[in-house]
Amino acid sequence: MKLTGAEIIWECLQREGVDVVFGYPGGAILPTYDAMTKYPKIHHVLVRHEQGATHMADGYARASGKVGVAIATSGPGATNMVTGIATAMMDSSPIVCITGQVGSKAIGTDAFQETDVTGVTLPVTKHNYLVTKPGDIARAIREAFYIAKSGRPGPVLVDITKDAQQLTAEFDWEGAAPRLPGYRPSYHAPDSEFARAAELINSAKRPLILAGQGIIKSGTTAEVLKLAKTAGIPITTTLLGIGAIPASSELNLGMMGMHGEAWVNQAIQQADLLIALGMRFDDRVTGNLKTYAVNAKKIHVDIDPTEINKNVQVDVALIGDLREVLAVIQPQIKKADHAEWWSAIAVNRGDSAVRDIKNLPDSGHLYAAHVINDIWRLTQKRDTIVVTDVGQHQMWEAQYFHHDKPRSLITSGGLGTMGFALPAAIGAKFACPDKDVWVVVGDGGFQMTSCELATAEQEGIKVNVAIINNAFLGMVRQWQEFFYDKRYAATPMTGPDFVKLAEAYRLTGLRCNQRPDVKATVAKTLADKKTVVIDFVVEKEDTVFPMVPAGADLDKMIRRPKQDVLLESGSDKDWEMPSSTLPNVFVEKKAEAKALNDRRKPSPPGKRRTPAKA
């Protein structure tokens, strides 16, 4: 069958099972858009910015486990995708990006809208292709899908010249099967390693499972729970591992790391065995590596050999797919309950409940933690996916929204991409039209990609956008509060009237600025058929606790203040910096900054800290 290159692209997408693509047209991809009209089974979502297309593909992939597809034109279209591709790369999300390229004869001439897209994206893709002949398109796309979803998933880009889209070639689907002699998606650890791992697990007194996103990727929630139950092992999750283990399971202690629960980080430091399942010991997870879990032996299960011994030296590495590894190891595990260990952890929990803002009565102030916890309580009976952006609200969501299902939290962890949430949520909604999709986003991040509200409107889909509006780039302000003597340089931030903005997009806008109104606001949001944008006007200078100061030992955290947190913007909170635990580099940096600062004339007191009007 002779087809144009453009038609071959769509034929391949159809055969790969693609039902929706997110894209934006332009000259170099126009032949493909023209051919699209012949393939009505694939729905095209017109985005408002190509970054949005990649985040949508990413959100679609994370919600469904399938490959998400984004399309853009050459030059600026393709470079706009870079942030979304890097985001997908860091969090191992399977997406395929198709970009148009100038005609093959024009490559290298700085032709109109020519960019070396395979060059630009080389370090942020799992693999990429430049295709200059129509006959090569099918194989490139088939390989792209295969590479994107197999092994450790990731983004693959296929850059196709305009002439390759226009010219015809024989379309041979079978003949275009992937031929990748050098590609090794998975490995099988030797039996001896399994035996050593089982021995360590069976002899441990204080074992702890570190549950990562690999569990979600491999769909092994049940298997991990079985292992933990058999051997009485407590579980803690990474940010991206949230949902892999139900929050309601008594085996689940909560999140680890920089903003993880204090008792979890203490447990990590006290454990004699860490069993890392599909997590990569990110620096937000380990704190100071030199003092990280020095008492523990470590077993690392990961599909990617380059993750082993990258940050943390381990004793046993089981390189391979988590599903296979768990199947081999489970029968070798002896029953245990580790009652002593569990009660030690319970002691660590100690007074944490009274420090928890969640348990404080309504003080007339609206705290983000309350908003998020209330949304969770009010939507518990529904099937909900939450997509968060990056910042304080992201951490409060992780702490106060309790996820019981895999793929119910979608967030940019590794790259921490502001502007991710709204477009990723739109993608997630396309993957799971029957679920509620909530966006929890800061006033800063929302303004980065709020143009995608128009996409939601045009597509007639409903996502519920909860803007946690603190009139600050809150997370950065928090660092300034802790580490830069409250010099709020470039963090106070204004925004539009978000209610009017929503209305301008012909969507519903709501505002909520006190706790008793949260319930009605959520109810109204759920009842509305359209996308709803809620402006939750929260406390301006609220702080995410606990926090491991950058580079400090994992269990030396800035705890939540003990007394009621009654903030007015600008007021001091009574948190204590565990100064003795700060790494030297930080102390030096602070001294340096102070010296610099003291040379300057002090600005009038109070002035520089006044945040901008909401």
Site for ligand FAD in 324-363 (CB under 6 A): none
Rounded to a whole number of angstroms, the minimum distance from the CB of residue 437 to other proteins is 27
CA distance 534 to 465: 6
Closest to ligand TPP by CB, 401 or 472: 472
Q: Which amino acid is at 468?
A: I
Q: Considering CB distances under 5 to 8 angstroms, the limit depending on partner class, which of Mg ion, ligand TPP, other proteins, none binds residue 594?
A: none
Whose Cβ is closer to ligand TPP: residue 374's or residue 443's? 443
Per CB under 8 A, 183 contacts other proteins: yes
Provide the 10 A C-beta neighbour count for residue 346: 10
Q: Does 34 contact ligand FAD by CB under 6 A?
A: no
Catalytic one of 89, 395, 475, 493: 475
User: Does the protein bind ligand FAD through residue 101 (CB under 6 A)?
Assistant: no
Q: Which of 17, 40, 182, 606 binds other proteins (CB under 8 A)?
A: 182
Q: Which stretch binds other proteins (CB under 8 A): 179-187, 327-335, 503-511, 569-577?
A: 179-187
* Alpha helix positions (H), 415-559: 421-431, 443-449, 453-459, 474-483, 498-504, 518-527
Q: Nearest approach, Cβ of 442 to Mg ion (angstroms)?
A: 4
**Helical packing angle, 50-64 and 421-431, nearest 10°:** 50
Indicate whether 52 belongs to the interface with ligand TPP (CB under 6 A): no
Considering the rule CB under 6 A, would residue 140 count as an interface residue with ligand FAD?
Answer: no
Residue from 113, 166, 270, 458 carrying the catalytic annotation = 113
- The interface with other proteins within residues 253-312 (CB under 8 A) comprises 258, 283-284, 287-290, 304-306, 308-311
CB-based contact 193:166 (threshold 8 Å)? no
Backbone conformation region of residue 234, classed left if phi is above 0, alpha if psi is from -120 to 50, else beta:
beta
Contact flag: residue 122 with other proteins (CB under 8 A): yes
Q: How many Å apart are CA 377 and CA 393, to the nearest integer?
A: 17
Q: Which residues, in sequence order, are CB contacts of 601 under 8 Å at separation 6+?
A: none
Q: How far apart are CA 504 and CA 494, in angstroms?
A: 18
Whole-angstrom distance, CA of residue 200 vs CA of residue 272: 10
Where do contacts with Mg ion occur on this chain (CB under 5 A)? 442-444, 470, 472, 474
Neighbours of 19 (CB within 10 A): 15
Q: Which of 214, 391, 414, 492 binds ligand TPP (CB under 6 A)?
A: 391
Q: How far is the CB of 258 from ligand TPP (least distance, A)?
A: 13
Instruction: Say which entry of ligand FAD, ligand TPP, Mg ion, none residue 279 contacts (CB below 5 to 8 A, set by partner kind).
Output: ligand FAD
297 is catalytic: no
Q: Output the DSSP codes for 353-406.
A: HHH-GGGSPP-S---HHHHHHHHHHHHTTS-EEEEE-SSHHHHHHHHHS---ST
554 near ligand FAD, judged by CB under 6 A: no
The yes or no reply on residue 605 touching other proteins (CB under 8 A) is no
Asked if residue 214 binds ligand FAD (CB under 6 A), the reply is yes
540 is catalytic: no
To 5 degrees, how large is the angle CA 60–CA 61–CA 64?
80
Of the candidates 1, 2, 112, 514, the residue annotated as catalytic is 112
- Cis peptide bond N-terminal to 181, omega within 30: no
Q: Would you call 113 a catalytic residue per the annotation?
A: yes
Q: Does 393 bind ligand TPP (CB under 6 A)?
A: yes
Please give the Cα distance from 143 to 131 (Å, whole number). 12
Minimum CB separation of residue 183 from other proteins in Å reads 5
Would you say how long the chain is, in residues? 614
Active site residue 166: no
* One-character DSSP codes across 275-319: EEES----HHHHSSGGGTTTT-EEEEEES-GGGTTTSS--SEEEE
The CA distance from 453 to 157, in Å, is 26
50 in active site: yes
Establish if 366 lies at the interface with ligand TPP (CB under 6 A): no
**Annotated catalytic residue within 7, 50, 307, 539:** 50
| Contact region with ligand FAD (CB under 6 A), list: 25-33, 213-221, 262-270, 345-353 | 213-221
What stretch of H or E contains 207? Answer: strand 207-211
Residue 477 in contact with ligand FAD, rule: CB under 6 A:
no
Using DSSP, how many helices (H) and how many strands (E) does the chain show? 25, 20
Contact of 468 with 412, CB cutoff 8 Å: no
Subset of residues 137 to 156 that bind other proteins, contact rule: CB under 8 A: 147
Residues 462-501 as x/- pattern, contact with other proteins by CB under 8 A: -------------xx--x----------------------
Which SS3 state, helix, strand or coil, does residue 602 take? coil
**Are the beta carbons of 111 and 62 closer than 8 angstroms?**
no
80 binds, among other proteins, ligand FAD, ligand TPP, none (CB under 5 to 8 A by kind): none
CB of 363 to ligand TPP, least distance (A): 20
Residue from 443, 535, 539, 542 binding ligand TPP (CB under 6 A) = 443
* Contacting positions for ligand TPP (CB under 6 A): 389-393, 416-419, 442-445, 468, 470, 472-476
* Contacting positions for other proteins (CB under 8 A): 118-119, 122-123, 126-127, 130, 147, 180-184, 187, 189-190, 193, 258, 283-284, 287-290, 304-306, 308-311, 313-317, 319, 475-476, 479, 548, 550-551, 583, 585-586
Residues recognised as catalytic: 50, 112-113, 162, 475
